[in-house]
Structure 1
Amino acid sequence: MRYRKSLAVTAAVVAALAAGHAAAAVPIQVQSAHARSAIDDVVEQRMKDSGIVGLGAAIIVDKKIVWVKGYGFADKENAIAFTPDTVMNTGSISKTFTGAALMRAVQEGKLSLDEDINTYLPFKVVNPHAPDQPITLRHLATHTSGITDRPEVYDRTYHYGGDTPEALDGFLRSYFERNGKHYSTDNFLKTRPGEYHEYSNIAAGLAGYIVELAVGEKLNTYGRRHIFDPLQMGNSGWSLSEIPPAKHARLYVAEGPGIPIQLYEVTTYPDGGVRTSVSDLARFFTALLNDGQYEGARILDKRSTDEMLRFQFTSANKPGNVNLQGEDSVNSGIFWATKYDTTRIGHNGSDPGIRTVMLADPDKRVGVVLFTNTSLDDRGTERYFEIFEALWTQAEKLKSEGKLAARR
């Protein structure tokens, strides 16, 4: 179900629930795992209704993490609680880490957003439907490259249990080289770069690969040096091998009591491989909302952060299938998305056994991070976004209370 559409169904319910708890507002400070808050009843009831096994959340107000909490189980079979430090894969929120790494490489003068990507690659990527039109990193990062994900190929990039993922380099060569195993003219849209907006995971994988070539490091080591370590994100990594098993959540499908599924790796890890916790991700998100820094630690300069977050599409320069205003309007930053018809910014993630949200308002005054280790059906997804809306309502309330307190 579309995220926007679910709001119309649930907004009245969420508003009533939030109003019912207004007298027990959370003070602007991080809550302990055992403290009751204004939204606990909403979260716990919606988890029960949806089959969510475990859930973690954080609220950000005026560039400060003001509330974090976990609910349910990271491992139901062994009664291990889901906490703000529980680690799980984040799905497409990983693209924002790739975006930050990309902007770091641009900041260092190692890449340009508007150079033909073939300048950086050891093999050629050419759209056979527009062979004379260069594809740039900006195209890749705004999902306007013309590269498309063929499901019969992309679906095989998930590797469960003990399977070793195919090397990113080998997979990309097989997809883009004319004699490659997975090459087809159907890997590309029949449009020129920049003309059409279509979300592409494989294009994100290609962008991450280009970053690795430019900086001479894998994303996990480059990201650790420039993102994870400066922000003290000790529960984060780009592969299962970087996370102690005891810290990683089990993943579930919401059927009956919750059916566990095997953990997995993805070949195109720049598009969905990052594993982190709610507490860690809230630090990263806050840094992006705060001109590239969090509590004195800087991951990007202000100029690079502004470029990553700014709306790239304008009335004079936008794909033909994009509306900038009104219903179904969208815009894009550098691996940065809009939701709710451009009224919220950040990214979502959805993969087997997970659903994640990391969204703020365009003014960067409030933000919400929300994780669950459970795949959901349509009804469960509605309940999940009811939880998100309750968190958002609470964030807005805390923002208002903070303004009032500052005036006193």
Structure 2
Amino acid sequence: MPLSALLLAAAVPATVAVRFDRHHAVAVLAEGAADRATGRPADARSPVRIASISKLVAALGVMRLFDYGTLDLDRDVSDYLGWRLRNPAFPDAVITLRLLLSHRSSLSDDAGYIIPLGESLRQRLADPRAWDRNHAPGSDWFHYTNLNFPVVASVMEKATGERFDQLMHHLVLAPLGLSACYNWSPCSAQEAERAVVLYRADGDVAKDDLHGALPACPVEVMPGHACDLAAYRPGENGALFSPQGGLRISMMDLARIGQMLARGGKGFISAEAFAEMTRPHWRFDGTNGLGENGEGDGFFCAYGLAVQTLAEGGRGCRDDLFGDGARRIGHAGDAYGLKSGLWVDPARGRGLAFFTTAVADDAPKGSSAFTAREEEVVARASASRRALP
């Protein structure tokens, strides 16, 4: 690539968007460099760390296990974990998968949610900072908490005896025909070569500067410990493969998940599982409680089991990213300078999968609670003349 083209590509944030309906998908945006050092362009097949959309995909694994009868959404998760999980301030309040997936468990991220190999989930949850002492599990209090998902992943591991990354591969990713993985396991070196390097707004590398190779160790490891995953016992630490944000997936593959959702989960999860997952288990009405992670700005207004619903909230909601008042289900992502979205209009059976990079932490909002950059990507993708078949 000529030097002038390299410089131009490096100046443009990597942005990719794929529009889809129930049966077809088309890339409508693909610009910027997946790797600024080489000028390699980003495209619809470039895997990217998709941030919190990973939660929705992890929840699909839970719902598959629900359909198999392996997991019960309303059972005390202590029964699966093999030890008593309780908020110390509310020792009689049972915590269930339903509460964890809908961010009503009373867990907090104040103790941190990145738990390295060598530490256990149980040890981390013994830290009083991991708990909200003012709101009981199951109350009408929504607190978006990443730490919920290491607990969910630990439950999945204990119930099946399988490590989360491997379980998600054969339970969700492979059946949908996706070249995707959590924390690059078990993706191939060829997939790593196509990775999107995440950059911050100032140009610094934030994540996944792989130089064309898989990471030597796919998980965080405690100082002084070896990356010995063979010795890991499933269920000890569901945080290892980042179920809350570590999915690497291309926009074309993310669109395939959207297509499945647009079909009501048909052929993948049961109608009951789809309904449970997508109906709001919590809805903001302008008066009920919200947690501390920015929910009070009208961004989260209706939330199911790791599924966010747009344009269906009450007073004070500003979550209509598309600006057309249509109900959409899916999830947003935000981490390491990336903003992403998977949004499905279930009435029309159409949707959009996108990401854009190098977004500043203080990026200006648009007319909604989303950033102006996200609104711009959605507007450009929606106006693209590249039509679905």
The two structures have a TM-score, normalised by structure 1, of: 0.71
The aligned counterpart of 1:370 is 354
Given the alignment of the two structures, is residue 249 of structure 1 paired with residue 166 of structure 2, yes or no?
no
Aligned pairs for 1:338-349 (under 5 A) are 338-342=309-313, 343-349=327-333
SS at match of 1:270: coil
Given the alignment of the two structures, is residue 277 of structure 1 paired with residue 250 of structure 2, yes or no?
yes
The aligned counterpart of 1:23 is none
Cα offset for 1:289? 2.1
Aligned Cα RMSD in Å? 3.0
The aligned counterpart of 2:289 is 321
Percent of aligned pairs with the same amino acid: 25
The aligned counterpart of 2:30 is 70
> Which consecutive residues of structure 1, in runs of 5 or more, have no partner in the other structure?
1-47, 158-164, 178-182, 403-408
SS at match of 2:45: coil
Cα offset for 1:147? 0.8
**Given the superposition, is the C-alpha separation of residues 51 and 347 from structure 1 closer, same or farther in structure 2, using an over 3 Å criterion?**
farther
Cα offset for 1:85? 0.6
SS at match of 2:258: helix
> Is the 1:52–1:254 Cα contact (8 Å) retained in structure 2?
no
Aligned pairs for 1:95-174 (under 5 A) are 95-150=55-110, 153-154=112-113, 157=114, 166-167=116-117, 170-174=119-123
**Which has the larger helix fraction?**
1
The aligned counterpart of 2:182 is 238
Cα offset for 1:265? 5.5
**Given the superposition, is the C-alpha separation of residues 372 and 85 from structure 1 closer, same or farther in structure 2, using an over 3 Å criterion?**
same
**Given the superposition, is the C-alpha separation of residues 106 and 62 from structure 1 closer, same or farther in structure 2, using an over 3 Å criterion?**
closer
Tell me which amino acid in the other structure corresponds to 1:222.
Answer: L
Q: In structure 1, what is the Cα distance between the partners aligned to 2:383 and 2:273?
A: 31
The aligned counterpart of 1:286 is 259
* CA deviation string 1:177-229 (max 9, x = no partner): 3xxxxx11562342221211110100122112111211221222222112222
Given the alignment of the two structures, is residue 382 of structure 1 paired with residue 350 of structure 2, yes or no?
no
The aligned counterpart of 2:270 is 301
SS at match of 2:342: strand
The two structures have a TM-score, normalised by structure 2, of: 0.74
1:334 to 305, 323, 339: 305
**Given the superposition, is the C-alpha separation of residues 260 and 329 from structure 1 closer, same or farther in structure 2, using an over 3 Å criterion?**
closer
Cα offset for 1:170? 3.1
* CA deviation string 1:93-112 (max 9, x = no partner): 00011100011111111111
Cα offset for 1:132? 0.7
Given the alignment of the two structures, is residue 175 of structure 1 paired with residue 85 of structure 2, yes or no?
no
Tell me which amino acid in the other structure corresponds to 2:363.
Answer: D
**Given the superposition, is the C-alpha separation of residues 321 and 363 from structure 1 closer, same or farther in structure 2, using an over 3 Å criterion?**
farther
Q: In structure 2, what is the Cα distance between the partners aligned to 1:69 and 1:300?
A: 30
> Which consecutive residues of structure 2, in runs of 5 or more, have no partner in the other structure?
1-7, 209-217, 221-238, 291-297, 314-326, 366-370
2:143 to 198, 208, 211: 198
* CA deviation string 1:111-151 (max 9, x = no partner): 1111111111122211122111111110001111111110x
Which gives a bigger RCO, structure 1 or 2 (Cα 8 Å, sep 6+)? 1
> Is the 1:175–1:187 Cα contact (8 Å) retained in structure 2?
no
**Given the superposition, is the C-alpha separation of residues 170 and 184 from structure 1 closer, same or farther in structure 2, using an over 3 Å criterion?**
same
Tell me which amino acid in the other structure corresponds to 1:197.
Answer: F
79-88 or 189-198: which moved more? Answer: 189-198
Q: In structure 2, what is the Cα distance between the partners aligned to 1:261 and 1:188?
A: 30
